[in-house]
Amino acid sequence: MVEKKESVLGHIGRAFIWSASGIKTAWKNELAFRVEAIVIIIFIPLGIWMGKSASDKALLIASCLLILIIELLNSAIEAVVDRIGTEHHELSGRAKDMGSAAAFFAMLTAGIVWALIAYERFWGTS
């Protein structure tokens, strides 16, 4: 079977549509994603205000987006595991637990970044 050569713009357009579909699916089906997204929508403007430098602002925003990225990957892992079967299996439990741990570490990372930058902004020496 001969594959039709796709254009770069066509590929980018389809990738954007698939990504938007993934975000919509996560919003509809994942409570954790909705809660984190709402909190992050509030925190991003706060990070823009709180960061002194462009790198501070980038770290504050990126640490928030990392939470959403990891949550999407965690949800994808859970969906694949559930697709395989709903009966308890040690490997399925490990996969879900490790995905959850990754989400925890993303939140911990964001908390550390925000705390350090907030300390420097409000209590550090100028």
Look at residue 5 in the predicted model and tell me its pLDDT.
Answer: 78
Catalytic residue among 36, 71, 78, 90: 71
92 alpha-carbon distance from chain centroid:
22
Residue found under tokens 């504050």: 60
Alpha helices in the chain (DSSP H): 8-29, 31-50, 54-84, 90-122
> How many domains does the structure of the chain reveal?
1
CATH classification at residue 58: 1.10.287.3610
Inside any domain, residue 7: no
Inside any domain, residue 49: yes
Inside any domain, residue 38: yes
- The whole-angstrom separation of Cα 69 and Cα 60 is 15
Instruction: Report residue 7 as tokens.
Output: 């254009």
Are the CB atoms for 67 and 43 separated by under 8 Å? Answer: no
Inside any domain, residue 52: yes
Are the CB atoms for 118 and 50 separated by under 8 Å? Answer: yes
pLDDT tens profile 41-88? 999 999 999 999 999 999 999 999 999 999 999 999 999 999 998 888
120 is catalytic: no
Domain membership of residue 92 as a residue range: 31-122
Please state the rounded mean pLDDT for residues 7-28. Answer: 94
Residue 125 predicted with pLDDT over 90: no
Inside any domain, residue 24: no
Residue 126 predicted with pLDDT over 70: no
Look at residue 3 in the predicted model and tell me its pLDDT.
Answer: 65
Cα–Cα–Cα angle for 48, 72, 117, rounded to 5 degrees: 25
Look at residue 60 in the predicted model and tell me its pLDDT.
Answer: 98
Inside any domain, residue 23: no
